[in-house]
């Protein structure tokens, strides 16, 4: 199978007017319109400054093939995906997710609401590269329309997927940081309708992400963490730029790693005989929990579309990644930050215990995440790694996963940035840090 060259782990991304040009955007729009050959294609965007420019460029390309474009607003990527699923039409999301504000990107959504798989990405790229576009006659060119029902459709779908009555009666107090991104309206509105008395930070659209970096990492959430340390809230919630991810702060102000929140939701959701899907980057805590619950765990390559496809193939209802991206198949097969938030509220309402108490039931592992610039070809880097550390066991499911005596380290090229990610995990924090430092030092020397 060919590997897509333009589409990374989650779509095409780049810096506007540099590597992500208007010509590319229009051409990709023409290629997507040609590939889907659909009467109608939905489109949405996050809050980035270049969003309008790329949305109209891509839309023009699509309309030139004869398809109508339906713009459904500024909303989270999973909001567009749900709209596509319900209306059985393809979609295009203009977003660079967690990347810094100078980036933007293009994601293609299938008519079942999932991100398109790699085979379809390759076919779209081939249409684009070979300029094999469908071109409509002048009187068959597509129209541009607006549908304002998509936002409420998405909000209502989240609320109807959980025990909204139990949550409403639980008096859960929530502080939420939407980071000026696509969830600035949807997530606070969901919390309000669930009677969660939300206090919102950065809940205004700002394409420069002036208040904080788009990626919801601890160093970017200092304001939310400070608020949580006041003891006035039960849980803190934060999203990335397109709100397909969600991370949590407990009632004491402690940041909860995405792998621990995933493990907690899995522990309290799956039953014996269920299947859970996650990438090789996820914590071994998930393996322990699945064994304890009698559930099957399937490990895949990194990437939400890959996890989602494996979930569909194996009829799994729950999956996700260590970065706060949880996929609840009962709702839809894609990462969904608002759905993740709702599942956690459901858990708090049912168990009637603080988040910090619930997390005590999760096996304790320590994961260290770093990255280094990718200055040489990945294949060369992989070869040098395997030659250097010959005494170790390797797993090549995605990148290189190297097993040491008391833990493992995953080294893989990012699909969205020109970096190599290095994740190290162990039951012992010192071992995780030592392993991470060892491999990062080696990679930097290259």
CA neighbor of 92 nearest in space, from 78, 72, 106: 106
CA neighbor of 410 nearest in space, from 276, 282, 261, 258: 282
For residue 182, count CB atoms less than 10 angstroms from its CB and return exposed for 0-12, middle for 13-18, buried for 19 or more. Answer: buried
Residues in the chain: 446
DSSP β-ladder status, 318-320 and 275-279: parallel
Our answer to whether residue 97 is catalytic in this structure is yes
104 and 12 Cβ atoms separated by less than 8 Å = no
Chain centroid, CA 21 distance in Å: 24
257 and 367 Cβ atoms separated by less than 8 Å = yes
10 and 416 Cβ atoms separated by less than 8 Å = yes
Three-state DSSP string of 270-334: CCCCCEEEEECCCCHHHHHHHHHHCCEEEEECCCHHHHHHHHHHCCCCEEECCCCCEEECCCCCC
Task: State the Cα–Cα distance between residues 80 and 43, nearest whole angstrom.
Answer: 7
Task: State the Cα–Cα distance between residues 325 and 340, nearest whole angstrom.
Answer: 8
- CA dihedral of 216, 44, 128, 30, whole degrees rounded to 10: -170
Task: State the Cα–Cα distance between residues 397 and 399, nearest whole angstrom.
Answer: 7
* Annotated catalytic residue within 60, 97, 157, 170: 97
Task: State the Cα–Cα distance between residues 407 and 405, nearest whole angstrom.
Answer: 6
Q: Tell me which residues are annotated as active site.
A: 97
């Amino acid at each position: 199978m060919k590997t897509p060259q333009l589409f990374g782990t989650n779509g095409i991304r780049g810096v506007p007017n540099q590597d992500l040009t208007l010509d590319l955007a229009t051409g990709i729009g023409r290629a997507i319109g040609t590939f889907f050959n659909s009467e109608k294609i939905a489109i949405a965007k996050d809050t980035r400054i270049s969003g309008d420019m790329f949305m109209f460029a891509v839309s023009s390309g699509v309309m030139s093939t004869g398809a109508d474009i339906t713009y459904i607003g500024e909303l989270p990527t999973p909001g567009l995906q749900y709209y596509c699923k319900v209306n059985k039409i393809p979609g295009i999301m203009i977003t660079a997710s967690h990347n810094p504000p100078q980036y933007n990107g293009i994601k293609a959504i299938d008519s079942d609401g999932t991100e398109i798989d790699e085979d379809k990405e390759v076919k779209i790229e081939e249409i684009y590269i070979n300029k094999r576009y469908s071109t409509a006659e002048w009187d068959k060119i597509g129209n541009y329309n607006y549908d304002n029902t998509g936002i409420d459709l998405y909000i209502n779908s989240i609320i109807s997927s959980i025990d909204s009555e139990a949550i409403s009666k639980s008096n859960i107090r929530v502080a939420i940081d939407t980071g000026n991104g696509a969830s600035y309206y949807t997530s606070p509105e969901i919390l309000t309708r669930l009677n969660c008395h939300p206090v919102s930070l950065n809940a205004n659209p700002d394409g420069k992400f002036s208040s904080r970096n788009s990626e919801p990492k601890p160093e970017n959430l200092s304001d939310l963490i400070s608020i949580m340390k006041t003891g006035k809230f039960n849980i803190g919630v934060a999203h990335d730029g397109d709100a397909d991810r969600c991370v949590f702060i407990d009632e004491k102000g402690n940041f909860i790693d995405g792998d621990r929140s995933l493990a907690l939701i899995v522990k309290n959701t799956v039953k014996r005989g269920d299947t859970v899907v996650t990438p090789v980057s996820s914590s071994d805590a998930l393996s322990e929990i699945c064994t304890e619950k009698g559930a099957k765990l399937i490990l895949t390559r990194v990437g939400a579309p890959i996890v989602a496809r494996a979930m569909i193939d194996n009829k799994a209802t729950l999956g996700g990644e260590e970065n706060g991206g949880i996929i609840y198949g009962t709702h839809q097969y894609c990462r969904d930050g608002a759905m993740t938030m709702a599942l956690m509220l459901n858990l708090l309402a049912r168990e009637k215990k603080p988040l910090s108490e619930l997390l005590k039931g999760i096996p304790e592992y320590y994961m260290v995440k770093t990255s280094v610039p990718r200055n040489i070809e990945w294949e060369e880097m992989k070869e040098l790694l395997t030659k250097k550390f010959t005494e170790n066991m390797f797993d090549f499911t995605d990148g290189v996963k190297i097993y040491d005596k008391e833990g493992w380290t995953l080294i893989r090229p990012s699909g969205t940035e020109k970096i190599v990610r290095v994740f190290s995990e162990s039951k012992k924090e010192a071992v995780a840090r030592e392993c991470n430092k060892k491999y990062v030092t080696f990679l930097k020397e290259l």
